[in-house]
Amino acid sequence: MKSPLPTLHHKPEVIFLDAAGTLIQLAQPLGKTYAAFAARLGFHAEPTQFEDAFLGAWRRMPEREPEANGRPDDDKAWWFTIVSATLREVCSGSDEDDASFFFQDLYSHYAKPEAWRLFPEVVEVLSALQSRGYRLAVLSNFDTRLFSVLDGLDISHRMERIIVSSRVGAEKPHPAIFQSALRHMSVSPERALHVGDDLRADGEGAARSGIPSFLVDRPSRDLKDLLVLL
C-alpha cells in the first residue's frame, strides 16, 4: 500500500529534480563495472565485494563545509579517495599506479551517457510537466560530468538549469545548495518543489530551506505519482 502523497500549500512554479536515483540510474550494477575494470589490471573479485567496499568508502567520507568558489578540481580528488579505497580493500596487491589507472578508467566511463539510463517514466513525466507550464531544473550532488550525461540521454534541453554540487561548493542536504538553486531560478522557497529519492539529502535538506519535497520510492512510488500530486 502506498503512503499518502504530501500536501502542497502552494502551487509550485519551479520543480527541482535530483539526478541519480530520480531521473537516471546506472546502466549496470556498480560492482559489475568495478569488477570488469579491475580485471583489466589483473585483479579478479566478485562484484558484491566491490559494491560493499564502495559503500563503506562512501560512508566514511566526512561531511564537508561549503566552499564559495566551488569544489576544487570538480570533485575529482574526492572521487579518487573513494575509488582508490575501494580498490585497496578488495585487491590487496594493488599499488598507487593501479589505483590511478583504475580511477581514470572509471571516471571517464561514468562521464559517458551509455553508462547511465533513464528511469522508464522520465520522458513522459518531464513532457507532461512542461506542458503544464512548470519550470524545471536539475539539482544534484554530482559534478560537471552530469552535463554530458543528461545531454546524451536527451533530457538536458528540458531544463532551464543543471545545478551540480561541485560548482556550487556544497552538497545536499546543506542549505547552501538549495539557496543557490533558488537564486539561480529566481523563485521563493514556497513556490518551489524539490523531487528526489533520498530522505536526508532531498527531503530533509529541502525542508531546512523551506522547500516542499516529493520523494520517489520505487517501485511503490515513481515520478508518475508526481503528476497526481500536481
Which CATH number does the domain housing residue 110 bear?
1.10.150.720
Q: Give me the residue label for grid cell 554530458.
A: 148
Residue 1 lies in a domain: no
Whether the predicted pLDDT of 170 surpasses 90: yes
Domain identity same for 69 and 149: no
Q: Given this model, what pLDDT does residue 1 score?
A: 56
Q: What is the pLDDT of residues 78-104, one digit of tens each?
A: 999 999 999 999 999 999 999 999 999
Domain housing 68: 30-114
Residue 8 lies in a domain: no
Domain identity same for 77 and 19: no
Q: Given this model, what pLDDT does residue 9 score?
A: 78
Residue 144 lies in a domain: yes
Domain stops at, among 81, 99, 114: 114
Single-letter code of the amino acid located at 220 = S
State the burial class of residue 62 (Cβ atoms within 10 Å of its Cβ: 0-12, 13-18, 19+).
exposed
| Domain count across the chain | 2
- pTM beyond 0.85: the answer is yes
Domain identity same for 40 and 105: yes
Q: Which residues contact 5 (CB under 8 A, 6 or more apart)?
A: 214, 225, 228, 229
Q: What is the pLDDT of residues 17-43, one digit of tens each?
A: 999 999 999 999 999 999 999 999 999
